[in-house]
Every structure is written in C-alpha cells, then in structure tokens.
Structure 1
C-alpha cells in the first residue's frame, strides 16, 4: 500500500508513468478507491480528480509523463479512467500529452518509430486528444514531427482534418472514407 511506502497516490501514479508499471498504477488506483469510500466520495470521481491534479515538479501531469517515456501500457490504463482530462497543458512548454508523444517518437531511432513510437501517438488520438492545440512556441504536434516520419505526419494530418471537418478522429480500421487530407483540397 502507498502508506507503507511513504509515497502518496499521486507520487505512485507519476512513478508508474515513468516506468510503464501498470502494477504500481493499479495499486495507486486501488488505494484511491479505498480512500474515496472512507470519505464517502464516488471512486471514479476521486481517481479522476487525483490523476487530473497530479503533476511533477515542472508541471507535467501523468499523461504527459507517460507520453514522454513511451509508457504505452500505463497510458492505456489512465485513458480508461472515466473523467481523466486528456488535453491538459504542461506548465513549461504548454505542451499537451500529444506534443510529448511526438517528442518521444522523435527521440527514438528511425527504425523504432513505427513499432515503439507511433502506438503512443495512436492511443492518444484514439482517446480523443486534439491535434490542433498549439503549445507555447505556437506549434501543433504535427509541426514537431521529424519531417522524415511521413507516416506519423500523415496520421496527425488525418486526425486534424477529421476534427476540422466536424467529425470525430477516424481510426485506421474504420470503414469510413480513405485517403489523405490533401485528396480533398
């Protein structure tokens, strides 16, 4: 339990995000659920509020930290929590988790982009993260992508186009229209 370790649930959540440790994250969520019962709150509300308010020393929330470290499994668990805010802005760069995910992909060797990097961006887009949000430098996630990473650039353009067209982000396996955003321009 968190009390035995001396770490708060927030600290455990952030550490789980750094290490892609779903067991540690599950432990923290279980502790939060027990805490909620003690004070008469809804478990899901208490868990979401704690995740949404948790931040490291430079203002990165759990989704930012998980995206920065490429912690896919932890992102999957966090994004399954009802009420978790997915487009939080960090304090330093005003990045969203999607910006952090693109930076993570850029940090990888080119040979690892599709296998290790793209799934991090994919899960965030599938959860509804907005690729149109600009950071402190006025850059959207698309504008941070390594120009050689044409697959990721196309994916972010497609997601942005879908939102601008008034629709939801279209998953690759949907039966919807195919083609790139430039096909209709």
Structure 2
C-alpha cells in the first residue's frame, strides 16, 4: 500500500479528500495510480472508515462536496450505491444534506440520479431517500419520485420487450414448423 510523506495510505488520503472536498489530493491519488480505472475503482469501492463503513462517496454526499463526487462518479467501475452500516446509500446522505442546504443538495441529488443512483434503495429503517425529504422541499421530492417512476417504467418496458421477444420466438418456431411440414 502506498504511503504519503505523512504516513497516510492512499485509502486514508481518499477518505480525507472526500471529507474536505480536496480535488487536488484526489487528482494526486489518481495520478499515483497511473489513472488506472480498475485500480482507482477498486480503491474507491473498498476503502471504508471502520465505524460506520462510510466510503468516499458517503462522506462527500453527506458534506455536499460536489467537486469530489463529480470526479468519483466519472471513474469507470465506481459503485454508485454502496451501503454503509445504516444501509444508507450516498443518495440517502445527499438527501439529508439537502435538508440543510436545499438548493445545493438538490443539485447533488440530481447529479447522483443522472449518474444512475437508485432512489428505491431502503436503509436499515426501511426508508428510501424520498422518505427523508423535508416537507417544504417539493422540488426535491418530485425529483426523487420522478426518478423512481422512470425506473419503474423502464422495468415495465423491459418486461414488455421480453414478452414480445418470447412471443416472436414462439411465432418463429411455428413458422419453422409449418415450413418444415410442407
């Protein structure tokens, strides 16, 4: 494991970069790993603080550190919905942050949703991110509900396509059988 001059591992540096929104440190870590997407994603996906099992994305989301989030989400292979000890995904924590900073938090939540974060994930309290939205933040509530609806429509469309494909396969078999018998 690579250590910095002060003895911190790359993982410790990564978590510190996420906590402090330190993009310079994050870019240094990327450079130390040769911008290798696999090594970077492995480091990001496996580095947890021991108490709450938070990863870099958790810290950045909880603190509203968009610049670090943006860099992390651009790294191929980074798990976008890791869960900490409480079952919170970074999206859960971004919503909680949005309760303190509505405009900036909503922007961050939107960024997570655009990157593919799943708003249907429930934490250990059986609550989805939308369940943590303050009553007066209708914009955020609508954003999360729209994302859930879009996912449900995609699933329904996928199921319909599968049924159609199965139906076409059945028809193809029938056509093949009919032509074989002629």
TM-score when scaled to structure 2?
Answer: 0.80
CA contact (8 A) 1:16 1:24 kept: yes
Unaligned runs of 5+ in 2: 156-182
Listed one character per residue, the Cα deviations across residues 55-76 of structure 1 (whole Å, up to 9, x for unaligned) are 1122001111100010000000
Tell me which residue corresponds to 1:137. 125
TM-score when scaled to structure 1?
Answer: 0.79
Q: Structure 1: how far apart are the matches of 2:80 and 2:30?
A: 18
Q: Structure 1: how far apart are the matches of 2:69 and 2:3?
A: 21
Say which structure is richer in helix. 2
Q: Structure 1: how far apart are the matches of 2:60 and 2:4?
A: 23
Q: How many residues align?
A: 153
- 1:46 and 2:39 matched: yes
Tell me which residue corresponds to 1:103. 96
Listed one character per residue, the Cα deviations across residues 143-176 of structure 1 (whole Å, up to 9, x for unaligned) are 1111110000000000000001117xxxxxxxxx
Q: Structure 1: how far apart are the matches of 2:18 and 2:4?
A: 19
Question: How far did residue 3 of structure 1 move?
Answer: 2.2
Question: After the TM superposition, which parts of structure 1 deviate over 6 Å for at least 4 consecutive aligned residues?
Answer: none
Q: Structure 1: how far apart are the matches of 2:27 and 2:132?
A: 32
CA RMSD of aligned residues (A): 1.5
Q: Structure 1: how far apart are the matches of 2:124 and 2:34?
A: 36
Tell me which residue corresponds to 2:148. 160
Larger Rg: 2
